[in-house]
A = this chain, B = another copy of it.
């Protein structure tokens, strides 16, 4: 039976120049890393040398902003990156042990295609594939796929529920020993070990079977990141691994307990789901050096990007005219939900005496993820507290600047975690399910 492993899991969230919103502007940054395969290969191998469980590739099937002024100033809008299936498959060929998790949206894909690609990647990689199911959030993506606007939230999740079931059924198309390759008798496979899918549901009709043999992992690892009620329900029923963004220990513990309880309520065995929050670590030998490292990046945030992150593009023209070193300007309050949140944010900043620039710097850097700034011991302390306090089974590491931030983590923090007995010294297993301590399937 699956149970929570004694040691934590580590993922490397691959993002070209680094996770800080302005990383690409750093003097040491590789600004064109998004289509530099050697760059990705070296980062993946570095994570593998440190025995990370997995690399993780996020995705958006379309750029995230319509405003060319803002879009043209950020590397974080998926305008100049590899497509994830092609990238992860190429990385499979140049790595040996590390898990390979990539993102595919259930909203703008067909389950047969997705099931087939992941099963194929699992064969290519010897059992290292993982699928991060997202439902996609933007109308920009919808408009690349015959729609004016995205599906409503509830429809997205209803579709996702059925989508993941179809994918799982397709992976069960063949028994592990279905292919006989019996040359003498001329029998390629055993017809009795082939299972036609014959799915007919609300969103999908898929006959199957899948035309790929059973994946080495049985079922590759299913990953989700939804934090909404519908997202949690989907993850609790179907996911092996959940990525999440929690700021405080209390939030993390509450989410962890909730997800495990929900999974058990769906009849799943205790310990059959892994929770990996994102962690944006700024590491240096001293706390001052770490703060300085962060400040260097913070100074590179272009005002247009900082303001856009604050307000989501609302009042862009008025804000562009405001003095960034003065207090946040008065805004014409319009009563709308997101606008009223901006109003509250601005009111609070004025009370605290923050300038507009200080306000966006506070919000922008790690883009909502858990940020820890300090020495290797500080980072290890924070990680240990969350892991042992059952706020996480591990962390998806989001280095601010690549490769420096990854190297800081693998050379300074990982040894400290090992000294404490919190992280493996090397790989004990060959599959992603194995690394994560999830039950083997055949």
Contact = CB atoms under 8 A, between A and B. Distances in A.
B206 A83 contact: no
Contacts of A433: none
A116 B206 contact: no
A91 B78 CA distance: 25
A179 B85 contact: no
A189 B78 CA distance: 12
A183 B25 contact: yes
A25 B186 contact: yes
A389 B137 CA distance: 57
A238 interface: no
B207 A83 contact: no
Counting every copy of the chain, the complex holds 2
B143 A207 contact: yes
A120 B86 contact: yes
The number of chain A residues touching the other chain, given as a range, is 35 or more
A interface SS class:
loop
A80 B212 contact: yes
A354 interface: no
Interface stretch (A66-74, A257-265, A315-323, A357-365): A66-74
Interface of A: 22, 24-27, 29, 31-32, 34-35, 37, 41, 60-63, 68-69, 71-75, 77-83, 85-87, 89-94, 108-110, 112-113, 116-117, 119-121, 123-124, 140, 143-147, 179, 181, 183, 186-191, 194, 204-209, 211-213, 300, 302, 305
B87 A302 contact: no
A78 B68 CA distance: 44
Given A93-B90, A94-B93, A73 B31 contact: no
B90 A143 contact: no
B90 A188 contact: no
B94 A181 contact: no
